[in-house]
Amino acid sequence: MIKGMKTLGLKRKILEVKDLHVHFYTYAGVVKAISGVSFEIYEGETFCLVGETGCGKSVTSRAITKLIESPGKIVKGQVLFYRDGSPIDLLKLSDEELRRIRGREIAYIFQDPTAALDPLYSVGYQIAETMVAHNTATWKEAFRRAVDILKSVLIPDPEKRVKNYPHELSGGMKQRVVIGISLSNKPKLLIADEPTTAVDVTIQAQILDLLRKLRQEEKMTLLLITHNMGVVAEMCDRVAVMYAGKIVEIGTVHQIFKNPQHPYTKGLLKAVPNPLIKIEKLESIPGTVPNLIFPPSGCRFHPRCPRKLDICDKKEPPLIEVEEGHKVACWLYVK
Amino acid sequence: MPEPLVRVENLKKYFPIKGIFFTRAHVKAVDGVSFEIYRGETLGLVGESGCGKSTTGRLLIRLLEPTAGHVYFEGKNIFKLKGEELKRFRRKAQIILQDPYSSLNPRMTIFEIINEALEVHNIKVPDKEEFIVDWLRRVGLERHHLYRYPHEFSGGQRQRIAIVRSLIIKPEFVVLDEPTSALDVSVQAQILDMLKEFQRELNLTYLFISHDLGVVKYMSDRIAVMYLGKIVELAPADELFEKPLHPYTQMLLSSIPIPDPEYALKKPKVKVIGEPPSPINPPPGCRFHPRCPRKLDICDKKEPPLIEVERDHYVACWLYAKK
């Protein structure tokens, strides 16, 4: 079976983002960080948001549970979370209601584990705290469970480690603890924002292995945010490629890697040196990522696009389906 | 074999960890490495953070003084150079650093930054401005960029400015210390191709330091793999990827995420055991033995020598050495 196909047959949505807009009001002007992002995630799959710095992938993932702080603001859009089949709009909930969902039904893992952990508390306390805060355990029980959680994220000697403070652990271990915290309430959806960017490649392999194992055991849905095309290929079922605050292409991992359609996706795939292939010359994308205070008119990729048409700088291309489950926003494919 | 441009012999660098009254311990960042770099080639140096690859790069152009060992550049020991001779060496050996945000002085214009390199090395050209503009054009920048300040440029553009500053004085040997790690992939490809072009054109010799194995493979003729201050394997780039011998190299290669979903399914898996230990008290014998899936009895007792097991393919592992 081709990777990613299984999720297409079994269509049970868990999350649906509709026409999301997030702006940042800075001194220099209004940064339109995300402009009209829509996608859905199905139960049990690993969905990836991939793109370069500043494309809006992290902002999108944070906006899902309103984790956007001033000067940022969610200007428009809906985030539907499907609880036992019926949708609720997360953006309409009060802070208190959202807090009950965040950390329990939707959990996060961020890039930097050192910033995610409090240096003044033992890791055991921090894991237990998550459970107590959501009333899923008493303190006593939570501490006991913290040991099991450390064991499940493959930390050696968990009985001793549970009393350790963050500074006593290596970067890889800290990230495991953060994963442990996020899993403590058995969330339905886990959002991992560049979980392996701060660690070395061998540790990255361990963490990715762990996430894969936990996803299967706990039957979680995973939203993975990354800039690394290799991680996408190894982890994901479906992928959305983002550029300058918009989704330019979306499809199964197979469709995106074997049959990319958007010139940006094509360029991105050719710019990554694959160590298994002999490459004479890397193909680079000319120019740089645009300024989102004054984004380019029409298609935001047109100033860098090798196949620009006349219409590209005038009108924005719609996201249209080119084959089953494969959508592209590019005038080349609009009839 | 031609005479190497750079020859490194048993190079060591220990950093002291100061206690209240005296030195408590040493971080053995580089602990006895030997290799050669030939004129016109690119030697890749890979390893994880803390393995000593950047320290090695800095020692090679004498930004650091070694604890022990020698580096010969064109046959001369660089740690014995003085006065005019040292200055000549400084012109010939340059470095390009990872972070173009901290390697350019924010209070100087681009013209001043590049001109400083020319002044320091007493390079006389008829029209300085024209000369610098000419170089800026080669990296895709324009005349109107000349009197701007670093903060007005993107990361990729800053790295281009850093490249011009290093190459305009016509060096022979350039240490590239993770030159694209701070950049996005689309910009990374531009910089890598530019560096390759300059190498051909100016006959440069590169030491390319990176933790990204895909990038190192693309750039290098030969690759040295470092682990905890030692070189564990050294081989031609293609051979290292096709036939890695050291168990650490095998683990490292199998850890790289490959941008190909079909390959990802059938990829050979080498399980990663544990994490790299601290370089303050490295394990005895082979430093990799606590994590090695193929450990022998001798491994925790005696250090394996770096030996040539096939033509140009060196490895430091008891599996391949005669005890």
**Locus of tokens 């048993």:** B10
Of A234, A270, A284, the CB nearest to B257: A234
Q: Strands, DSSP E only, in chain A?
A: 13-26, 29-42, 46-50, 72-83, 86-89, 106-109, 189-193, 221-226, 238-243, 246-252, 319-323, 326-329
Regarding predicted confidence, which is higher, B25 or B68?
B68
Q: Give pTM, 2 decimals.
A: 0.89
Alpha-carbon gap, residue A313 to B302, rounded angstroms: 67
Residues of A in contact with B254 (CB under 8 A): 205
Alpha helices in A2-94 (DSSP H): 5-9, 57-63
Alpha-carbon gap, residue B312 to B317, rounded angstroms: 16
What pLDDT sits at residue A7?
46
pLDDT digits (tens, 9 = 90+) for B106-161: 999 999 999 999 999 999 999 999 999 999 999 989 999 999 999 999 888 999 99
- In the predicted structure, residue A241 carries a pLDDT above the cut 80: yes
Confidence band (pLDDT; 50, 70, 90) for B297?
very high
Alpha-carbon gap, residue B105 to B97, rounded angstroms: 13
What pLDDT sits at residue A281?
83
Give A 41-70 residues with CB within 8 A of chain B. Answer: 52-53
Residue B28 main-chain phi, psi, to 5 deg: -90, 80
* b/e sequence B185-223, b meaning 16+ C-beta within 10 Å: bbbbbbbbbbbbebbeeeebbbbbbbbbbbbbbbbbbbb
Instruction: For residue B86, give the H/E element and its range.
Output: helix B83-92
Q: What is the mean pLDDT of chain A?
A: 91
Q: Do B272 and A203 touch (CB under 8 A)?
A: yes
Share of chain A above pLDDT 90, in %: 77
- Interface contact A75, partner B, CB < 8 A: no
Q: Do B185 and A271 touch (CB under 8 A)?
A: yes
Alpha-carbon gap, residue B119 to B130, rounded angstroms: 15
Alpha-carbon gap, residue B275 to B290, rounded angstroms: 9
Q: Do A200 and B218 touch (CB under 8 A)?
A: no
B222-227: strand order across its sheet:
B93-96, B173-177, B205-210, B42-46, B222-227, B230-236, B313-315, B307-310
- Region of B260 please: left (phi>0), alpha (psi -120 to 50) or beta: beta
What pLDDT sits at residue B1?
57
- In the predicted structure, residue A145 carries a pLDDT above the cut 50: yes
SS3 state at A171: helix
Token couple for A136:
């899923």
What pLDDT sits at residue B323?
55
Give A 140-179 residues with CB within 8 A of chain B. Answer: 170, 172-173
Regarding predicted confidence, which is higher, A12 or A326?
A326
Across A2-16, A313-327, B42-56, B68-82, least confident range: A2-16
Are B91 and B121 spatial neighbours (Cβ–Cβ below 8 Å)?
yes
pLDDT digits (tens, 9 = 90+) for A12-22: 899 999 999 99
pLDDT digits (tens, 9 = 90+) for B163-190: 999 999 999 999 999 999 888 888 899 9
Alpha-carbon gap, residue B223 to B44, rounded angstroms: 4
Interface pTM (ipTM) of the complex? 0.85
Chain B nearest-CA distance from A256, in A, is 10
- In the predicted structure, residue A3 carries a pLDDT above the cut 80: no
pLDDT digits (tens, 9 = 90+) for A180-203: 999 999 999 999 999 998 888 998
Best to test chain A binding among B145, B178, B218 (most A CBs inside 10 Å): B218
What pLDDT sits at residue B225?
97
Q: Do A201 and B265 touch (CB under 8 A)?
A: no
Q: What is the mean pLDDT of chain B?
A: 92
Give which of A270, A154, A132, A261 is closest to A203, Cα–Cα. A154
Q: Do B258 and A173 touch (CB under 8 A)?
A: no
Residues of B in contact with A52 (CB under 8 A): 184-186
Give A 102-141 residues with CB within 8 A of chain B. Answer: none
Share of chain B above pLDDT 90, in %: 77
Q: Do A272 and B214 touch (CB under 8 A)?
A: yes
Give which of A124, A193, A52, A153 is closest to B188, Cα–Cα. A52
Regarding predicted confidence, which is higher, A112 or A2?
A112
- In the predicted structure, residue A122 carries a pLDDT above the cut 80: yes
Best to test chain B binding among A288, A291, A304, A305 (most B CBs inside 10 Å): A288
Q: Do B185 and A288 touch (CB under 8 A)?
A: no
Are A287 and B253 spatial neighbours (Cβ–Cβ below 8 Å)?
no
Residues of B in contact with A270 (CB under 8 A): 189
- Interface contact A28, partner B, CB < 8 A: no
Alpha-carbon gap, residue A102 to B104, rounded angstroms: 42
Residues of B in contact with A210 (CB under 8 A): none
Amino acid identity, residue A165?
Answer: Y
Token couple for A88:
């609720």
- In the predicted structure, residue A1 carries a pLDDT above the cut 60: no
- Interface contact A293, partner B, CB < 8 A: no
What pLDDT sits at residue A9?
54
pLDDT digits (tens, 9 = 90+) for A192-232: 999 998 888 998 999 999 999 988 888 899 999 999 999 99
- In the predicted structure, residue A92 carries a pLDDT above the cut 90: yes
Give domain A1-105+189-205+219-335's CATH number out of 3.40.50.300, 3.40.190.10, 3.10.129.10, 3.20.20.80.
3.40.50.300
Regarding predicted confidence, which is higher, B205 or A279?
B205
Alpha-carbon gap, residue B63 to B39, rounded angstroms: 21
Token couple for A118:
């409090």
Give B 54-113 residues with CB within 8 A of chain A. Answer: none
Chain B nearest-CA distance from A86, in A, is 34
Q: Where are the domains of chain A?
A: 1-105+189-205+219-335, 112-186
Alpha-carbon gap, residue B1 to A285, rounded angstroms: 39
Across A4-13, A241-250, B6-15, least confident range: A4-13
A246-252: strand order across its sheet:
A106-109, A189-193, A221-226, A46-50, A238-243, A246-252, A326-329, A319-323
Interface contacts A/B by beta carbons within 8 Å: 127
What pLDDT sits at residue A32?
94
Give which of B313, B293, B292, B315 is closest to B304, Cα–Cα. B315
Give B 229-268 residues with CB within 8 A of chain A. Answer: 238, 241, 251-265, 267
Report CA Rg, chain A. 21
> What are the CA-CA distances from residue B139 to residues A242, A316, B194, B213 (Å)?
28, 32, 7, 25
Do the strands B23-37 and B6-18 form a parallel or antiparallel pair, or are they unpaired?
A: antiparallel
**Locus of tokens 């230990």:** B277
Give A 1-20 residues with CB within 8 A of chain B. Answer: 3-4
